[in-house]
Amino acid sequence: MIQVHGTCVELEGVACLLRGPPGSGKSDLALRLFDHGARLVADDQVVLRREGDRVIASAPPDFTGAIEVRGIGVVGLEGVSEAPLGLVVDLVSAEEVERLPETGNCEYLGIIVPLIALAPFEASAAAKVRLAVRIGTGSIIPVR
């Protein structure tokens, strides 16, 4: 079991770990995902544990059900206690997002997890996360 810095939301049964330094847009993107059915798993600190061939994300005991919303404060939300990690999203500047990136992944606890890089403040960022969850590690257009 490990604890990592980030915000984690559950969308369509999949935990999405949003990673980035403080102020990078993790909670902002999570709020926009909540508007489309996502639920909070953890904010600021995320516990990851291995169960068989998957990684399960949850909140540390002292951080359950709350998210820090800049300009408002800490807000209690009903969420989920845990979800299987299916996507990691690195939050980067718009200039760092590749137009046609190679398939990315990262490793937690010996398990490979799909990884994408997004600019969190773009209007389409939440839609891109939802799309990435739906397609998983596959591609929308087959590579020839």
Q: Name the nearest CA neighbour of 31 among 81, 4, 68.
A: 68
pLDDT digits (tens, 9 = 90+) for 33-60: 999 999 999 999 999 999 999 999 999 9
Catalytic residues: 5, 26, 44, 99
pLDDT digits (tens, 9 = 90+) for 89-134: 999 998 988 888 877 899 999 999 999 999 999 999 999 999 999 8
Q: Do residues 106 and 115 make contact, with C-beta atoms less than 8 angstroms apart?
A: yes
Angle value at C-alpha 88, between 85 and 91, nearest 5 degrees? 150
User: How do strand 2-5 and strand 54-58 relate by DSSP bridges?
Assistant: unpaired
Name the pTM for this structure: 0.90
- Model confidence at 141, pLDDT cuts 50, 70, 90, reads very low
Q: Mean pLDDT, the chain, as a whole number?
A: 90
Q: Which residues have C-beta within 8 Å of that of residue 40, sequence separation ≥ 6?
A: 8, 9, 10, 30, 34, 65, 67, 77, 78, 79, 80
Q: Name the nearest CA neighbour of 28 among 78, 88, 114, 91.
A: 91
Angle value at C-alpha 79, between 131 and 9, nearest 5 degrees? 30
- Model confidence at 138, pLDDT cuts 50, 70, 90, reads low
The fold adopted by the segment(s) 2-135 is Rossmann fold (3.40.50)
Region 21-31 average pLDDT: 93
- Distance, CA of 101 to CA of 123 (rounded, Å): 20
